[in-house]
């Protein structure tokens, strides 16, 4: 006997809606509906820029300047 959506959700610790979405995708496209990065909002900063800003914030704190949004922008 195949698993029900509720049983599968309980067994695999997933939501019923996620199980349903994957099943629907399997029926329509033959593959599960895994999210990809193309749906996500693009990052404003790359890793290098993020590290530079973090280092700047740490430096400001060390030299005694209170860090606020105006200093960072």
Answer for the pair 3, 14: CB distance below 8 angstroms, yes or no. Answer: no
* Domain that residue 23 falls in: 1-34
Query: How many CA atoms lie within 13 Å of 16's alpha carbon, on the beta-carbon side?
Result: 5
Return the SS3 of 25: helix
User: Is the residue at 21 inside a domain?
Assistant: yes
Predicted pLDDT of residue 40? 63
User: Is the residue at 67 inside a domain?
Assistant: yes
- For residue 42, pLDDT over 70 is answered with no
Per-residue tokens: 6: 């509720």
Q: How many structural domains is the chain composed of?
A: 2
Average pLDDT score over residue span 51-72: 78
């Amino acid at each position: 006997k195949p698993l029900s959506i509720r049983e599968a959700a309980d067994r695999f610790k997933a939501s019923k809606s996620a199980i349903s979405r994957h099943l629907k995708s399997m029926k329509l496209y033959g593959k599960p509906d895994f999210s990809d990065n193309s749906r996500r909002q693009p990052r404003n900063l790359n890793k290098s820029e993020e590290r530079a800003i973090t280092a700047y914030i740490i430096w400001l704190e060390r030299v005694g300047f209170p860090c606020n949004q105006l200093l960072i922008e």
